[in-house]
Amino acid sequence: MAPWRRLSVGRMTRLHHFQWIVICFGVLLGLANHSSGYFYTDSSAEVSDERFCFCQLQGTIDDCSCNIDTVDYYNNVKIYPRLQSLLVKDFFRYYKVHLNKECPFWVDDSKCAMRFCHVEHCEEKDIPPGLKGDASSYHKYIKEVQTLTNCNEDLDVELGYLNTSISDKAHKEFQRWADYDEAQDNFCILDDHEPGAQYVDLLLNPERYTGYRGESARRIWSSIYLENCFQAHSVKKKNAFSAMIPYQDMARNEVCLEHRVFYRMISGLHSSINIHLSANYLLSEKGSFGFVSPTGVWGPNMEEFERRFSPHMTDNEGSHWLRNLYFAYLVELRALAKAAPYLRNEEYFTGLEKDDREVKTAVKDLLTVIEGFPAHFNETAMFSGGTSSIKLKHEFREKFMNISKIMDCVGCDKCRLWGKLQVQGMGTALKILFSGKFDDKIDPGIGTRLKQPPPSLRLKRGEIVALFNAFGRLSTSIHELEEFRQRMR
């Protein structure tokens, strides 16, 4: 997908993973100190040695209880192969999204003119009937419909009477109330129901480098990091201008867990995006016979990967940014495990019975593997401080909602597509972890956990598609990271 993430060049390289948990004004003043010294100019023996080890991560992942080696094995051997076969299914490959919304923060006329920024829209005939609202095929394999004979048999007129005295206007108000209540649990903007939203085939529009760069791209990440500052009440600082706190200084500055989690998730997403860019780089626009290829020639770019993560190019921050990838992965892994009872009961309906049955079986298999992971992220340690934690959770949610709005400012359509999807998927994971609706329900009669999710609990199809695809992107990044290690060796 590359485009809007090409911020590792110049001043945004260091910005990428600096903590912004402080006064934003101080952050802005500090930008000038981080705008140089990030272009590869040295090929010394020292650089040659370090290039073979900087991405060979080891040890425990911060704020989690498992090791990187455990995640590498579990992902690359058990989870990644299952996700790859699942995400090509129709239910997960068609994503409804609004790509033509105006940027709510600034006037941006810098639309990417590169041909690889364009999104290929799918044909109407290719969209599965169940996703278009065509229920005819759905009825073919509903058991109740198959056994139904005469709708008028045993009809009791009095019992069948429906009081329709409530006006349509009142019904609309009730729906508005319900939508408002449901929206309070969301951590991101859902726009698939808005006029202008269209289905996009994700397989026709893979995430990779598109050539989108420059001031427009830099402004996206600058806004994400600098305009979502937490107040510095949790940081001990000597003056108001000690604004930018490097990753390794977080613990020493006593940054609270909630702030660290927010930063590491965004940082992990940024790292994941940069890995996809490096692994799916535009190597040439010409094919093997010298003619311009309609699809281009794509492949891994080792120099690009080193420039984005190697110690000498990132002031020794690159390995920390890669570790944040693992952290974001564990958070979304935990969300899938927590929502597993709910997700098992989903129909994954497209109107194609055989495909739907296969998807449901594959999802259950994947969820079983995910639940078997030995050291899940513990979300109960967050937002557990009484009244202050309620305010902190609200602030956490509002800042993530703001990031999802920034995605409408991305000037490259394909980058906007994958940015919106991954932010929505991460937001859905946060909703699962912190809304309280997916917490274990205890049967008051016997004091044990209910095996079935409550009937009021639900995720929209777009949220489920984004959740699985966003996790698939993080899983792919960890797999691609191992491939980069192999090439370095």
Residues designated catalytic: 412, 415
The three-class DSSP label of residue 85 is helix
One-letter amino acid for residue 22 of the chain: V
One-letter amino acid for residue 484 of the chain: F
Write down the residue that tokens 């080891």 correspond to. Answer: 58
Residue 165, CA distances (Å) to 156, 171, 175, 333, 487 in order: 20, 11, 17, 48, 71
Query: Residues forming the annotated binding site for FAD?
Result: 208, 210, 221, 267, 270, 308
- Angle, vertex CA 301, rays to CA 476 and CA 299, nearest 5: 65
Tokens of 322: 């890669």
Tell which residue, 124, 57, 19, has the closest CA to residue 318.
57
Cα separation, 406 vs 221, whole angstroms: 9
Write down the residue that tokens 């998927």 correspond to. Answer: 425
Cα separation, 307 vs 37, whole angstroms: 11
The three-class DSSP label of residue 384 is coil
Cα separation, 413 vs 417, whole angstroms: 6
One-letter amino acid for residue 315 of the chain: D
Cα separation, 136 vs 115, whole angstroms: 39
SS3 annotation, 206-260: CCCCCCCCCHHHHHHHHHHHHCCCCCHHHCCCCCCCCCCECHHHCCCCCCCHHHH
The three-class DSSP label of residue 199 is strand
Cα separation, 103 vs 416, whole angstroms: 11
- Beta strand extents in 380-453 (DSSP E only): none
> Helices in 131-214 by DSSP H: which ranges?
136-139, 143-147, 168-183
- Angle, vertex CA 399, rays to CA 409 and CA 422, nearest 5: 55
Write down the residue that tokens 């140089």 correspond to. Answer: 36
Residue 141, CA distances (Å) to 97, 132, 147, 349, 364 in order: 29, 18, 10, 11, 20
